[in-house]
Amino acid sequence: MARILVAEDEPDIRRIIGILLRRAGHEVVEAGDGMRAMSLMEELRPDVAVLDVVMPGMTGIELTRTIRSLPHLAPTPIIMLSARTLPHEVEEGMRSGANMYLSKPFSPSNLIAAINRVLNA
């Protein structure tokens, strides 16, 4: 079981991801904006962060850069999950420090596989 932070500003999507990950046996903490997500990163030090790109307060890109700049959080695997899937958008997400970039709509099995991959890397 891993502790996973899900940062997603759309409540229905956040809820669906949370249910999926809990059914897979993980502990899930949720944030509806980038600032809350950063606070939870500091407080709980999750094993994996699943971040939306477009969020109020702090985007997933900004959040990833911040996480990567902090030595105690930098090793945390980050999966971007976004509807922004143009090549330059995906490239920006990866350059910011994401380990993986998945597109919405997403396949539940692909998300679980991605989490297992970053946990076992």
Q: How many domains does the chain have?
A: 1
Tens digits of residue pLDDT in 64-117: 999 999 999 999 999 999 999 899 999 999 999 999 999 999 999 999 999 999
Tens digits of residue pLDDT in 32-51: 999 999 999 999 999 999 99
Tens digits of residue pLDDT in 103-121: 999 999 999 999 999 999 8
Percentage of the chain with pLDDT > 90?
Answer: 98
Q: How many CB atoms lie within 10 A of CB 74?
A: 10
Q: At what angle do helices 34-44 and 60-69 cross, to 10 degrees?
A: 30
Which letter does DSSP use for residue 72 in this model?
A: T
CATH number (domain holding residue 15): 3.40.50.2300
**Structural domain range at position 26:** 3-119
- For residue 10, give every residue at least 6 positions away whose Cβ sits within 8 Å of its Cβ, in sequence order, or none: 52
